[in-house]
Amino acid sequence: MRRPLRLPATPRLPSLRKRLIVQLIALSAGLAVVLYVAVRLGAERASEATLDGLLGAATSTIAEELRSVEGGAELDLSPGTFSMLAAMGEERIFHRIDINGLPVTGYDDLPRPPQEPTALEPVFYDADYRDAELRLVAVARSLMIENRAAPVLVIVGQTRDGQRAVAQALANRAALIGLMVFLIAIPFSLLVARAFLRPVGRLAEAVGRRGGHDLRPVRHPAPAELMPLVEQLNAFIARLRQTLSQTETFIAEAAHHIRTPLATLRSEAEMALRQAGDEPTRARLRGMIRATEESARSANQLLDHATVLFRAEQFTQERVDIGAMIAALADRFRPTADLKDMEIRLDLPSERLETTGDAVLIEAAVRNLIDNAVKYSPEESEVAITLTRDGTFARLTLRDHGRGLGGETLATLSRRFRRGPNVGGVIGSGLGLTIVLETAAAMGGRLELTEHEEGGTCATLWFPLSS
Amino acid sequence: MRFLLIEDNADLARSIRERLEMDGHAVDHAPSLGDAEDHLAVARYDLILLDITLPDGDGRTFLQRHRAAQADTPVIVLTARSAVSDRVDTLDLGADDYLTKPFDFAELEARCRAVLRRRGGAATTLRRYADLTFDPLGGFVTVAGENRDLRNRELRLLEVLLSAPGRILSKDQLNDRLFSLSEPVSDNAIEVYVARLRKKLEGSSARIETVRGLGYRLTGG
């Protein structure tokens, strides 16, 4: 009988594809943010450095251009200095010049640098001034005024509104680029995930298509990372195959080791019986022969039963000519039937009836039915075997003139080791019908047992015809 | 009949051999495939009894070689293996029949006869006694040249009686030869068959005598 293999549910992890896509998208989002921040910071720094350079250069020039005159200092701004300051854009400019630590010109309250600049080394700093953020630079030099060196401090401040606007515009562009990178990354991630997982999918499909009875090793190409999995799968398949073949070998060997000594025992007992004269010894020897026969038959049927179960799991599919098989089997039983002067009558259709299944199983089923019919029939009786087409089925009927079913039904008789109440002295194992029923179930057939009005049993077995 | 028994189990082989010799057959025993080849090279056999599991190979290999060599000696496989499929493939490989061990000798004889009859190969030795002619293989009997139709059991009974004409055979001896040893036999079964055989052989000079308390004896006029 075929039972589906039920395994405990495997815990399911989120699909690899989903995980890969999510990770790729998260990664590209992160990259877009990093890109945005980097572009923004870089742009700010670059524009600040440029403007600082210009501011410093202009302030240094102003400091250079201070000349001492009688009683003070004079500033004569060259056109270059103007153009330098003009290059700073639409910014407001503040200045302050201190001599001897006292403001002499410009905005007196313009904040002083946090530390005093050294000679010609400008100091840059930020400060709030008149509601504006200023970038300031202070340059120091000394000037000979009235033959004395007087320290001069030149401070120039500049608003940075224009620069901020430029930096913001650059940052916006960076954000746009980041967003575009992110948007492009989404379909790209999908494509990459699909391409990446294609070998996995193909392998899974190739393994899935095989079905549970294909015990050939998996030869499908697999990426290196999946090779351990495939190798383990193949090792497992090989182990399973070995176990199955060991089971088969075990059944065969068990049979051999049980039957050979039984055969010797039986043969010896038969000879002893031929030579024995006194009735008690003869009765004992007959008992021995019966017991031998009984154990041989039980061993036989048990092993046959194991084979049937084992083969039903294998699910071999081949086309079997039922008529030819029945004819061959009937021929096989004729010498046995002859010993009881029994007749086996065969009625086969002229058309060829084929069924699909395991020939060995079908043979075992039909053999058990014929065996039952011959075994439970009286001497000089007849067993009629008929094969006919019945719709999409082939119907095999075995009609005997034996002892019938003794009031039992198929359901009880086909239980393992269950024999009818009317078996009398006939040796049997109680497994024959179980084997027939299991074979019928394995191949989608049906068995029916009825008692004939005129006595005897009628066994009917339906095989689905090959399409 | 002359048998070649290819069987590696010494006890079983001796037992089968003695049992067959008891019935008047000649048996050569080969414990391996190699020995079997040696025997076949020098002698002709009516039948080969072949075991499947042998020390120097598989009986099926022998079967294939035997058939490939166009040898026509019939082969009956005595298999001790269960695998249902074994039975099928030995026939496919060219065995004439098979029997699963342990087997009933009566069934072995029946199968041997069936195989030889089918092959029509072995030269039949007609048995004659008084005005009876008996062909054990073909299973026909004539009384003074006239065909008599006998059933299988009647033929076997006649065969047993013919094997020892003039000697008294007990009911037990006849029972053992005629009925399955593993099935219960009623006491008067043999009387029924003797009565039938007497009727079938009516008009013959050979008669089946009842020896009260001892058994039966075949006598010829």
Whether A329 and A393 map to the same domain: the answer is yes
Domains contained in chain A, number: 3
More confident residue, A406 or A429: A406
Q: At what angle do helices B33-42 and B59-68 cross, to 10 degrees?
A: 30
Q: Give the rounded distance of the alpha carbon of A153 from its chain centre.
A: 78
A341: nearest CB among B19, B103, B152:
B152
Whether A397 and A441 map to the same domain: the answer is yes
Answer yes or no: are the C-beta atoms of A433 and A409 closer than 8 Å. no
Task: Select from A249, A302, A332, A339 the residue whose CB has the most chain B CBs within 10 Å, as the one to mutate to test that interface.
Answer: A339
Mean pLDDT of chain A: 84
**A286 with B86: Cβ contact below 8 A:** no
* pLDDT single digits (tens) A124-162: 898 888 888 888 899 888 888 777 888 888 888 888 777
CATH, domain B2-119, list 1.10.3720.10, 3.40.50.1220, 3.40.50.300, 3.40.50.2300 = 3.40.50.2300
- B140 pLDDT higher than 50: yes
What torsion do the CA atoms of A81, A82, A85, A86 make, to the nearest 10 degrees?
Answer: -150
* pLDDT single digits (tens) B82-94: 545 565 567 778 8
Of A314, A347, A375, the one marking the end of a domain is: A314
pLDDT score of B47: 92
Q: Residue A303: phi, psi to the nearest 5?
A: -70, -40
CA distance B106 to chain A (A): 8
For residue A256, give the chain B residue with the closest CA.
Answer: B80
pLDDT score of A186: 86
For residue B14, give the chain A residue with the closest CA.
Answer: A264
pLDDT score of A373: 92
The alpha carbon dihedral of B123, B129, B131, B135 has a sign of negative
Q: What average pLDDT does range B183-203 have in this prediction?
A: 86
Nearest to A298 by CA among A429, A425, A423: A429
Whether A78 and A175 map to the same domain: the answer is yes
Answer yes or no: are the C-beta atoms of B59 and B75 closer than 8 Å. no
Note the ipTM here: 0.82
Whether A277 and A334 map to the same domain: the answer is no
C-alpha A48/C-alpha A340 separation (Å) is 119
- A3 pLDDT higher than 70: no
CA distance B101 to chain A (A): 5
Predicted confidence band of residue A398 (pLDDT cuts 50, 70, 90): very high
Predicted confidence band of residue A2 (pLDDT cuts 50, 70, 90): very low
* pLDDT single digits (tens) A449-459: 888 888 889 99
Q: State how far the alpha carbon of A379 is from the alpha carbons of A84, A400, B66, in Å.
A: 133, 11, 38
B12: nearest CB among A264, A286, A294:
A264
Range of the domain at A126: 13-210
* pLDDT single digits (tens) A309-358: 777 777 778 899 999 999 989 988 998 898 888 999 999 999 999 998 88
Of A180, A210, A240, the one marking the end of a domain is: A210
Q: State how far the alpha carbon of A305 is from the alpha carbons of A128, A204, B176, in Å.
A: 101, 36, 32
Winning range, highest mean pLDDT, from A30-39, A247-256, A389-398: A389-398
Predicted confidence band of residue A8 (pLDDT cuts 50, 70, 90): low
Question: The domain at B127-220 falls in which architecture?
Answer: Orthogonal Bundle (1.10)
* pLDDT single digits (tens) A288-301: 988 888 888 888 78
Whether A182 and A291 map to the same domain: the answer is no
Nearest to B185 by CA among A271, B177, B158, A267: B177
- A138 C-beta neighbours (distance < 10 Å), count: 27
Whether A56 and A186 map to the same domain: the answer is yes
Whether A36 and A53 map to the same domain: the answer is yes
CA distance A467 to chain B (A): 25
Whether A405 and A457 map to the same domain: the answer is yes
Of A182, A210, A238, the one marking the end of a domain is: A210
Nearest to A234 by CA among A252, A248, A220, A250: A220
CATH code, domain carrying A341: 3.30.565.10
C-alpha B52/C-alpha B79 separation (Å) is 6
CA distance A200 to chain B (A): 40
pLDDT score of B80: 78
CA distance A452 to chain B (A): 25
Tell me, yes or no, whether A5 lies in a domain. no
Whether A128 and A141 map to the same domain: the answer is yes
Answer yes or no: are the C-beta atoms of A112 and A151 closer than 8 Å. no
Whether A299 and A328 map to the same domain: the answer is no
pLDDT score of A1: 43
Count of A-B CB contacts under 8 Å = 131
Nearest to A329 by CA among A348, A302, A355: A348
Predicted confidence band of residue B29 (pLDDT cuts 50, 70, 90): very high
- B123 pLDDT higher than 70: no
Q: What average pLDDT does range B119-126 have in this prediction?
A: 67
Q: Percent of chain A scored above 70 by pLDDT?
A: 94
Q: Could you state, in order of their start, the residue ranges of all structural domains in chain B?
A: 2-119, 127-220
Task: Select from B101, B155, B160 the residue whose CB has the most chain A CBs within 10 Å, as the one to mutate to test that interface.
Answer: B101
pLDDT score of A62: 84
Whether A403 and A323 map to the same domain: the answer is yes
**A286 with B181: Cβ contact below 8 A:** yes
Nearest to B49 by CA among B24, B23, B26: B26
Q: What average pLDDT does range A247-267 have in this prediction?
A: 83
A382-390 and A393-399 as β-strands: parallel, antiparallel, unpaired? antiparallel
**B22 with A274: Cβ contact below 8 A:** yes
pLDDT score of A13: 80
pTM score, two decimals? Answer: 0.66
Whether A234 and A260 map to the same domain: the answer is yes
Task: Select from B84, B90, B107 the residue whose CB has the most chain A CBs within 10 Å, as the one to mutate to test that interface.
Answer: B84
